[in-house]
């Protein structure tokens, strides 16, 4: 038996990816592959329903195991049987056995919140080492992600928050304004949906690197598409905290401001694919913060944002 340590990134494509993994491992000389619960699972859809059942990947591998010429080692969900003081597969638990379980996501949240970890979950020495990777929330990396129409006030608020944080934070703070990033990182891109998605994902990647290294990234792109914003959120949730701020200034107010004259050009047909005019803006469904700059000042908006960040324990 050989151990495969190839540098193969997870695509989160579900059961077919598990099949792909098995083929690649076989080609590298392996004769066993461990397939766990929800292997390469992409999570849930917009309605909160899982794309695949927990053991779909195992069932698919079992179906083609003979053709693959690599045997599966199925890994079932494990729980802690309190009366037996040991971990057992869930399907081996008897009806009267009291059990405890803690998901990886829940465990990470407990580490981030510096909450006590149950003694049955792991060895104290292991918990001690893992805590070093998860400092208190206000010491971790953070991305503050503004989204909204052109002229909504994103850049103004982003700058205001940046200067406020510079007065109180020890963490390095970086502003990633959509227009400025486009000049330096996305100058070859246009404004089609595909190009906009690439642009926002580039901003997200830079923000994730800043966040991963303990900094604060303040992003202010239009970011009109909800799926792309979810991709960025997921990217940053892996390395730190993500706060989405919807600058919900109405289109009519943005168009009245029109400081760059872009709406006027878009209405005249001189600019195509313009968000709010000839291209949609998909409003966030559950942003952490919503502000409308048409009826409150920059100072009031900034105070609201900072108060929310403090309530989330993201600021010291």
In the predicted model, is pLDDT for residue 306 greater than 60?
A: yes
- In terms of pTM, does the model score above 0.85? no
CA atoms of 155 and 146, how far apart (whole Å): 8
In this predicted model, what pLDDT tens digit does every residue of 111-137 receive, in sequence order?
Answer: 877 789 999 999 999 999 988 877 777
**What pLDDT, on a 0 to 100 scale, did the predictor assign at position 144?**
98
Rounded average pLDDT over 299-310: 97
Rounded average pLDDT over 255-262: 91
Band of pLDDT at residue 316, cut at 50, 70 and 90: confident
Give the residue from 150, 293, 142 showing the smallest Cα distance to 221.
Answer: 150
CA atoms of 19 and 102, how far apart (whole Å): 28
Rounded average pLDDT over 94-113: 87
Give the residue from 291, 301, 311, 303 showing the smallest Cα distance to 138.
Answer: 311
Which residues have a Cβ under 8 Å from the Cβ of 105 and sit 6 or more positions away? none
Among 9-13, 55-59, 123-127, the range scoring the smallest mean pLDDT is 9-13
CA 305 to chain centre: 20
In the predicted model, is pLDDT for residue 4 greater than 70?
A: no
In this predicted model, what pLDDT tens digit does every residue of 181-226 receive, in sequence order?
Answer: 888 888 898 888 999 999 999 999 999 999 999 999 999 999 999 9
Tell me the percentage of the chain whose pLDDT exceeds 70: 99
Domains detected in the chain: 15-74 (no CATH), 78-131 (no CATH), 137-311 (3.40.50.300)
**What pLDDT, on a 0 to 100 scale, did the predictor assign at position 23?**
95
Rounded average pLDDT over 99-114: 85
């Amino acid at each position: 038996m050989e151990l495969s340590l190839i540098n193969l990134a997870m695509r989160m494509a579900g059961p077919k990816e598990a099949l792909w993994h098995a083929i690649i491992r076989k080609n590298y000389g392996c004769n066993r592959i461990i397939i766990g619960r929800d292997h390469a699972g992409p999570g849930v859809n917009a309605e909160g329903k899982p794309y695949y059942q927990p053991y779909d990947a195992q069932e698919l591998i079992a179906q083609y195991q003979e053709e693959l010429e690599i045997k599966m080692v199925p890994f079932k969900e494990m729980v802690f049987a309190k009366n037996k003081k040991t971990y057992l597969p869930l399907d081996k638990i008897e009806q009267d056995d009291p059990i405890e379980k803690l998901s990886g996501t829940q465990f990470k949240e407990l580490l981030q919140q510096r909450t006590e970890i149950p003694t049955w979950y792991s060895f104290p020495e292991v918990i001690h080492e893992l805590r070093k990777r998860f400092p208190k929330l206000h010491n971790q990396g953070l991305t503050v992600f503004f989204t909204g129409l052109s002229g909504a006030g994103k850049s103004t608020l982003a700058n205001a928050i940046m200067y406020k944080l510079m007065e109180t934070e020890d963490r390095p703070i970086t502003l990633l304004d959509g227009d400025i990033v486009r000049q330096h990182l996305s100058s070859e891109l246009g404004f089609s949906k595909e190009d906009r998605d690439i642009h926002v994902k580039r901003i997200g990647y830079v923000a994730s690197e800043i966040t991963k290294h303990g900094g604060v990234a303040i992003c202010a792109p239009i970011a009109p598409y909800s799926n792309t914003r979810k991709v960025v959120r997921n990217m940053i949730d892996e390395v730190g905290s993500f706060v989405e701020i919807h600058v919900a200034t109405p289109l009519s107010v943005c168009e009245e401001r029109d400081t760059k004259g872009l709406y006027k050009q878009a209405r005249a047909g001189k600019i195509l694919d313009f968000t709010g005019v000839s291209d949609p803006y998909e409003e966030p469904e559950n942003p952490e913060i919503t502000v409308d700059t048409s009826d409150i000042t920059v100072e009031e908006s900034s105070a609201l944002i900072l108060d929310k960040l403090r309530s989330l324990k993201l600021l010291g």
